[in-house]
Structure formats: C-alpha cells, structure tokens
Amino acid sequence: MNKKSVGLTILLCIIAIIISINAEVIKKPKILMVVETKNAKSSHTKMIKQLNQIGEVNMVTTQEKTWKLEEYGETKYDTVVLMTPTINRVPEALKKNALLNFFNEGKNIIIIADKTLPEAYTEFLMDSGIEFENGANFIVDHFNHEEEDGLHQLITSTAMNRDVIRKDVGKIMYKGVAMTNANKSPLVVPILTGSKTSYVLAEDEQEAPVAIGEEAMLVAGVQGRNGARITVIGSMDMVSDSFYDKQATGNNAFGQELFLWATGQRGILRHRQVKHHVVGETTEKYMYTINENITYSVIVEEYDQTKGGWIPYVANDLQLEFIMLDPYVRTSLNHIDAGRYESTFQVPDTYGVFKFKVDYRRAGYSYLIFNNKQTVRPYRMDQYDRFIPAAYPYYVSMFSAFIGFFIFAFLFLYTDNGKVKLE
C-alpha cells in the first residue's frame, strides 16, 4: 500500500512538471503607480480599477523614499504610471536616466499630464520624439466642443488609431495641452488626436499655431524598437471619474482599451517555427542551389490579454525579403491558417549568403523584425546544360575537323607524286 501511494505521488509529480514545462505561463504585469498625494485615489477610482483588472497595482507617492524602479540591476515592475504633473523636482528614482534605463529594459511608461509636467519628464519625452510644451495654450475646437464656456477648450474628438483602440468607443472628451511630433519621429504612434477643426495657438498669438488638426496629439504613444511603450495622456481630466461618468462619451471604454495597449498587454507580435524547404521535399537543407524553388513558412502571433494570451495574428500585408546586400526577392507572405504564413519563390541566379528577412512595422503593434541566414551555392559541375543548342555549329566544326584530319592524314601518307598508292 505504501509503495503504491509513493509511486502514485511520484507519477503525479512528473505529470505536473511536464505540464508546467509545456504550458505557456501568462503572468499578470506588475504596475507601479506614482502619485503626488493619496487624493488621486478618490478622483480616479475607475481608472485605477481598470489598471487593477490588467495587472497588480502598487500605489506610492513621491514623498515616500522607499520605492525604486529597479533593484540590484533588475527591474521590479513591468509598467510605471506617473501621475505627478505638478511636482517641481522629481525623486531620484524618476530622473531622466532612470526612466531611460527602465525603458531600455523593455518596460512601459505611462505619463499622465495636466497643464504642466516636470522638466525631467518633458526632457525624456523630447528625446523620445514627443514635444510637450509646459504652460502652452490649451487645444481649441470651435466645431466639436461641449457647451461649458466661450473658450471652446472642452473638446471632443473621434480621431483615434483603430489598431490601438479596437472598439468603436464614440467621441472622447478632452481639455488640456496637446503634444506634437516635432521631429517627425517614426516611432511615435498618435493614439488620439484632435479632430481636423482643432488647433493650438502659440504663446504669442501673432505667430503661426503650434499644431493644427490631427497634428495635435491628445494621447501620444511611442513604440520602442525593443517592444517597450511610452504613453502620454495629455489631460488628467480625461481619465478622471467625472469624465468617465459623462453620458454619450466613450472615455471609459477608451481608457480600457488604452491601458491594455499601454501596459503591453495587447499588440505585441512574435514569430515562431521558421521553416523553409525545397518545393516537394520536407527537410531543410543547409545549402540551396541557385534557381531552385523553395517554400518559406512562419507562424506569427499577437499577445492579447483579453483573448487569453498569444493568439494567431492574421494580416494580408506581411512581406518576406530574400536579401544579400540588395533584396533579390521580395514577396508577400500569404496567410494559410491559424497564424501560419507561407511564401513560395525561386532562389535568384546569384550565389552567396542570403537571409530570409521579415521587417514588419505597423502603428499600434510592436515591431516584428527577424532574419535567418541561408547559403546558396552555384551549380555542381554536372548540373550545367550538357549540349547547348547555341553551340551546335562548334560541335559540328569539331567533328568535321576530326574527320577531315583523319582522312587527310591517311591520304597524305598513301599518295605518291602522280597517283594514289593503294597497297
């Protein structure tokens, strides 16, 4: 009896180990929220609840000195939400270099601004491509505003990136400063912009406006090359409870979708199972020959927390390059089933070391860039054409030279001056 139970427990342990190795563990992210005072809890409860649904929220204030973004070289959190717009000096843990290191580790940063932001944050954002001008004028829209005062600064907008905000949330209410992509950085993803009729005046109202229409970003994102994201929400009011509760606006639903993207819980792409082989065979060869037909296939997945983790990514604009300094072949990858993409093409007539390169960048998704090296060799000596039709005259001349040579040699030997000797 004892032996049986021991054996059974060992078997169960082994099964559990195997399951745990094979299963993909979906961890909830750890979110650090930094506020100025604990009052934020009362004015932004719905936003905090949304964040709690996404991950584990740890709220600290700037007065406390006990918290840090990283410890002993390892980052402790996956996302940091900075809701400290009016402080003058940021704590040590949030200086520009600390934020930069945190971002370089692949972790996300969410900054919620008001009329101003601390200088450390604006410098960090300037380096990332987003220009936030402290004390700038509020964005104004005379056509899409809510009736509050004559200034028309409480605007609404529906111009948003539909790859980030996947639901149709309706119009969003906003009051505050707008940001611009001053250097036209390609990493900046405008998530919510002002509508075409909005504008931001410059300090000196005689000059040209700072931003017009959809240049003015209300919620701006930066997609880093390592997969990390920065999100800047230009107005604290936009995510406050009062705006969330307003009827006929979609701020609540917008916040839900936005925080999923901003914490990296949606729109992260990855690839697996790169396979390539000659058409008709099944095994991968170390070297392909020139002018061979090969098939390449790869599985691309997207991470979406609301759908349970890694789901197949379906798109019709993936491209494959077969490149050696120049892309000799550039074809589209066709979606076959369940996130598997395939492409069949002919290896070019040049030999060398190529790579299969996929370079897929779309606003709202992380960048999918990967390559696999591949050697291509020239023909073996017995793979060339045996008899080339263009060379037939030369073959004929050679055989005729043979015949002529032999006949002549024979004749010359057996003639005498006068007649041919035939003995």
Partner 1 sequence: SHHPQVLTSTHHNMAKSRTKHQPSLSKSSSHSDKNPLITLYNEYLSKTSLKLKIIDAFLVYCFFTGIIQMLYVTLVGSFPKNSFLSGFILSVAMFVLGVALRKQTNRDERKDFPDILPERAYVDFVVAGILILLVAVNYMG
Query: What is the distance between the alpha carbons of residues 3 and 15, in angstroms, rounded to a whole number?
Result: 18
Give the integer Cα–Cα distance in Å for 360 and 301.
Answer: 13
Q: Which of 72, 412, 422, 423 binds partner 1 (CB under 8 A)?
A: 412
CB of 385 to partner 1, least distance (A): 9
Q: By C-alpha distance, which of 239, 245, 300 is closest to 267?
A: 300
Q: Helices 251-262 & 45-54, crossing angle to 10 degrees?
A: 40
Helix (H) or strand (E) holding 392: helix 392-413
Q: Which one, 143 or 394, has the nearer CB to partner 1?
A: 394
Q: Taking CB under 8 A as the rule, does residue 332 contact partner 1? A: no
- How far is 210 from 42, CA to CA, in rounded Å? 34
Query: Nearest distance from residue 379's CB to partner 1, in Å?
Result: 13
Number of residues that bind partner 1 (CB under 8 A): 24
d(CA 103, CA 116): 22
Q: Indicate which single residue of 24, 418, 422, 423 sits in contact with partner 1 (rule: CB under 8 A).
A: 418
Please report whether residue 380 would count as binding partner 1 according to CB under 8 A.
Answer: no
CB of 398 to partner 1, least distance (A): 6
CB atoms within 10 A of CB 295: 15
User: Per-residue x/- mask for partner 1, residues 195 to 214, rule CB under 8 A?
Assistant: --------------------
Nearest of 25, 34, 26 to residue 69 by alpha carbon:
34
Which is closer to partner 1, CB of 17 or CB of 407? 407
Q: Rule CB under 8 A: say whether 393 interacts with partner 1.
A: yes
Residue 408 Cβ vs partner 1, minimum distance, rounded to whole Å: 4
Q: Is 401 in the site for partner 1 (CB under 8 A)?
A: yes
| Pick 273 or 397: Cβ nearer partner 1 | 397
In this structure, the strands spanning 79-83 and 108-112 are parallel
Phi, psi (degrees; rounded to nearest 5) at 252: -65, -55
Separation CA 318–CA 320 (nearest Å): 7
Q: Which of 12, 13, 369, 391 binds partner 1 (CB under 8 A)?
A: 391
Q: Rank residues 23 and 390 by Cβ distance to partner 1 and give the closer one.
A: 390
Q: Does 408 bind partner 1 (CB under 8 A)?
A: yes
Contact residues for partner 1 (CB under 8 A)? Answer: 388, 390-391, 393-395, 397-398, 400-402, 404-405, 408-409, 411-413, 415-420
